[in-house]
Amino acid sequence: MVRDGSGRGKLTSGPSFAIFTALRTSSEIPITRSKGGSRMYAVIQTGGKQYRVAQGDLITIEKLEGVTGDRVEIASVLMIADGNQVTVGQPQLEQARVVGTIVRQERGPKILIYKHKRRKGYQKKQGHRQSQTLLRVNQIVTGATGDQSL
């Protein structure tokens, strides 16, 4: 890697450069760059957090009621984008929803909480594991007239 005056390194040699060169010159694997692309996605809100999801995505969210294989509908859709067409709710889209399937119920990594007061001999150690749901997004339903799902 060679440094120029801008502070950024130029890729001129090394294993990464060789791989990039091989891919670039290969006619079998086209390299395309797209900003966002035309893949449809939605922004949903669940568990007090917002997630950007697309069809086929696996997301880990706060625990939802249900067992593995259950169908879940999330009606709190804040935005849907399909290519250059973006629909934003105020604050939510009325008819839109995201349909998914629960893959598994699990618990997140252990977080340790340690409290102490100096010079008082007080120490407290506590652990916590958050319950989570792994969800596969099956479908994004827009709810537009004449166009139920994309």
Q: In 3-state terms, what secondary structure has residue 145?
A: coil
The H or E element containing residue 25 is helix 15-25
Please state whether beta strands 85-88 and 58-62 pair in parallel, antiparallel, or not at all (unpaired). Answer: unpaired
Those residues with Cβ within 8 angstroms of residue 55's Cβ, 6 or more apart along the chain or in another chain: 40, 137, 138, 139, 140
pTM above 0.85, yes or no: no
- The phi and psi torsions of 54 (rounded to 5 degrees) equal -135, 165
Instruction: Quick: pLDDT tens for 22-53.
Output: 544 444 434 333 455 568 999 999 999 999 99
Q: How far apart are CA 113 and CA 139, in angstroms?
A: 39
Instruction: Quick: pLDDT tens for 54-88.
Output: 999 999 999 999 999 999 999 999 999 988 889 99
| pLDDT for the residue numbered 84 | 85
Q: Mean of the pLDDT values across residues 11-30?
A: 49
